[in-house]
C-alpha cells in the first residue's frame, strides 16, 4: 500500500520506512496546529485529558488496532481494507494514534520527540483531527504496546517502544 511520501505498507506491501511515510508533510511546521497550548506531557496526564475530552456525540466506531499488518488488499484494486478489528467506540484520534507506536528504531536514531511530532502533525493535517489528541493517544499506544511486548519477551521491540515513550513523556516540543 502506498503511504504518504512513498514506500509501502500493509500485508501485501511488507512495511515502509519512517522517512517515506511521514516526511512529505504539506508544511514545514513541526508543532501541531492547535488553539490550545501544545504539551506532550505524560501518558497519565494525556489519558486524563482524553477521558475529560470524550464526547459521546462525536465518538465513532474505531478499528482499535489499525496497523499495516491488519490490512488486506481488495483483489483487482489498489484499495486496502482493515481486518481483525477490536471494535471500540472512541474518538477518531484513537485509531489515528496507532501509527504513532511504529518505527521505534528510527525514532531512537535521532531525536525521538522531534521525529515523533512529524507523523502527529501529518496525521492531523490529513484528517483535521486535533494533533494533541493524536499525540496523547499515541503516547498511550506506545506505552501499552511496549509493556505488552516486554511481558511477552519481544525484544528489542518492547525496550525500544518504552525508550521512545520515556523521551516523549520527559520532553517538550521544540
CA angle at residue 159 from 157 to 162, to 5 degrees?
Answer: 105
Whole-number Å distance between alpha carbons of 147 and 131? 24
- Cβ-proximal residues to 127 (8 Å cutoff; 6+ apart), any chain: 92, 96
83-103 pLDDT, tens digit per residue, is 777 777 889 888 888 888 889
Mean pLDDT across the chain: 74
Query: Distances from the Cα of 38 to the Cαs of 4, 5, 15, 42, 101, in angstroms?
Result: 24, 26, 31, 13, 20
Domain ranges of the chain: 45-169
Task: Give the chain's radius of gyration (CA, Å).
Answer: 16
**What's the rounded mean pLDDT across residues 112-134?**
91
Q: Which of 78-82, 116-120, 167-171 has the highest mean pLDDT?
A: 116-120
- For the question of whether the overall pTM of this predicted structure is more than 0.75, the answer is no
14-46 pLDDT, tens digit per residue, is 344 444 444 444 444 344 334 344 444 445 577
pLDDT of 6 = 32
Other beta carbons within 10 Å of 122: 23
Higher pLDDT, 153 or 137: 153
Q: Which residue matches cell numbers 531525536?
A: 111
Contact assessment for residue 50 and residue 80, using Cβ atoms and an 8 Å cutoff: no
Percentage of the chain lying above the pLDDT 70 cut: 69
pLDDT level of residue 170 (50, 70, 90 thresholds):
low
Nearest to 134 by CA among 113, 112, 119: 119
Nearest to 10 by CA among 57, 51, 67: 67
Amino acid at each position: 500500500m502506498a503511504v504518504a511520501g512513498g514506500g509501502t505498507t500493509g500485508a501485501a506491501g511488507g512495511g515502509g520506512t519512517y522517512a517515506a511515510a511521514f516526511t512529505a508533510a504539506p508544511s514545514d511546521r513541526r508543532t501541531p496546529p492547535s488553539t490550545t497550548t501544545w504539551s506532550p506531557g505524560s501518558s497519565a496526564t494525556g489519558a486524563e485529558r482524553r477521558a475529560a475530552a470524550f464526547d459521546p456525540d462525536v465518538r465513532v466506531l474505531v478499528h482499535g488496532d489499525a496497523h499495516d499488518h491488519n490490512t488486506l488488499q481488495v483483489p483487482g484494486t489498489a484499495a486496502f481494507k482493515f481486518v481483525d478489528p477490536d471494535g471500540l467506540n472512541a474518538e477518531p484520534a484513537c485509531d489515528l494514534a496507532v501509527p504513532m507506536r511504529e518505527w521505534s528504531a528510527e525514532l531512537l536514531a535521532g531525536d525521538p520527540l522531534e521525529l515523533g511530532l512529524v507523523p502527529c502533525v501529518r496525521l492531523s493535517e490529513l484528517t483535521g483531527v486535533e494533533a494533541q489528541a493524536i499525540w496523547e493517544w499515541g503516547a498511550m499506544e506506545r506505552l501499552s504496546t511496549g509493556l505488552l511486548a516486554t511481558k511477552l519477551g519481544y525484544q528489542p521491540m518492547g525496550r525500544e517502544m518504552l525508550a521512545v515513550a520515556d523521551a516523549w513523556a520527559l520532553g517538550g516540543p521544540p
